[in-house]
Amino acid sequence: MIATRIRKGIIKKTEEAQSPMATLIAIVDDEPDILELVLIHLKKSGFLAEGFLEAEKFFKFLEKRIPDLIILDLMLPDTDGLDVCKFLKSKEKYSSVPIIMLTAKAEETDKIIGLELGADDYVTKPFSPKELVARVKAVLRRQKKVEGTGITTVGNQLTIDFEKYEVRIKDKTVDLTATEFKILKLLSTRKGRVFSRDEILDFLWGHEKVVIDRTIDVHIRHLREKLGSASMFIKNVRGIGYKIDE
């Protein structure tokens, strides 16, 4: 009897351990109905979700916890969603948190602006909650968190160890220069997200150093050369910049 209970206990524990970890999602939207609806659907899908009607309260929340993903309405009453996005991206702490934008208009220009500001995806209103949840999952899947372990993989043949500054392709180590490594790091920590050449340069050298942005092309070339077959994951988005796509 006791034995059985012990067994069960163990089995249950194991199952828990294998289940996906709770993912915290923050939603900022000034329309209570929509906020409520989104929250319900996210929670039904097993996410931990927190909603905010004002940017103000959202910022308060941010001081205590960093969510795994942020859903942001472009149109907020107190602040502009784009400004929030810009702010988040400028802070080291939050810069790696993926953002999904909710936009009222499906204008192509908005999309571009969103991409340039660092959003990882955008959903146009009106939207179906199911679609939003699907997008959330897609972005998270792409992301494949690096945190803590300091290791990430791209297309399961390329592994990047941030502590060791080591890159391996199918267990063969590849020598990268510091700059090449940093670019790869930037792109791979936000898979799918497009980075402009200026953004990459800022990441590399900060604002002080002024360098022609064509330089990035050359670094990308070197990277691609060294990565060989795995270079297929580094993609150019014409007119905008570069990204990693698995």
Question: Are the C-beta atoms of 203 and 209 separated by less than 8 Å?
Answer: no
* Helix/strand/coil for 63: coil
10 touches a copy of itself (CB under 8 A): yes
155 binds, among a copy of itself, DNA, none (CB under 5 to 8 A by kind): none
Check: CB of residue 61 under 8 Å from CB of residue 52.
Answer: yes
| C-alpha span between 115 and 111 (Å, rounded) | 6
Residues 6+ apart with CB under 8 A from 70: 25, 26, 27, 28, 88, 97, 98, 99, 100
Cross-strand pairs, 173: 168
Distances (CA, A) of 202 to 199, 209, 216, 219: 5, 9, 11, 14
Residue numbers 116-135 binding a copy of itself by CB under 8 A: 125-135
Position 4 contacts a copy of itself (CB under 8 A) = no
Contacts of 76 (CB under 8 A, 6+ apart): 28, 29, 30, 54, 55, 84
**Terminal C-alpha separation, the chain:** 50
Q: How far is the CB of 94 from a copy of itself (least distance, A)?
A: 9
209 binds, among DNA, a copy of itself, none (CB under 5 to 8 A by kind): DNA
For position 24 contacting a copy of itself by CB under 8 A, the verdict is yes
- x/- site string to a copy of itself, residues 159 to 198, per CB under 8 A? --x-xxxx----------xxx----------x-xxx----
Q: By the 8 A CB rule, do 128 and 137 touch?
A: no
The answer to whether residue 75 forms part of the interface with a copy of itself (CB under 8 A) is no
Q: Which does 40 bind (CB under 5 to 8 A by kind): DNA, a copy of itself, none?
A: a copy of itself
Binding mask 84-103 for a copy of itself (x = CB under 8 A): ---------x---x------
- Tell me whether residue 152 is exposed, middle or buried, using C-beta atoms within 10 angstroms of its C-beta: 0 to 12, 13 to 18, 19 or more: buried
98 vs 114, which CB is nearer to a copy of itself?
98
- Closer of 100 and 200 to DNA (Cβ): 200
Asked whether the beta carbons of 28 and 71 are under 8 A apart, the reply is yes
Q: Which residues bind DNA (CB under 7 A)?
A: 175, 177-180, 204-205, 209-212, 214-215, 217-222, 224, 236-241
**205 scored as a contact of a copy of itself (CB under 8 A):** no
Q: Which is nearer to DNA, 56 or 213 (CB)?
A: 213
Under the rule (CB under 8 A), what is the footprint of a copy of itself? Answer: 2, 6, 9-10, 13-14, 16-19, 21-24, 31, 33-34, 37, 40-41, 43-46, 62-68, 93, 97, 125-135, 137-138, 145, 147-150, 161, 163-166, 177-179, 190, 192-194, 237-240, 243
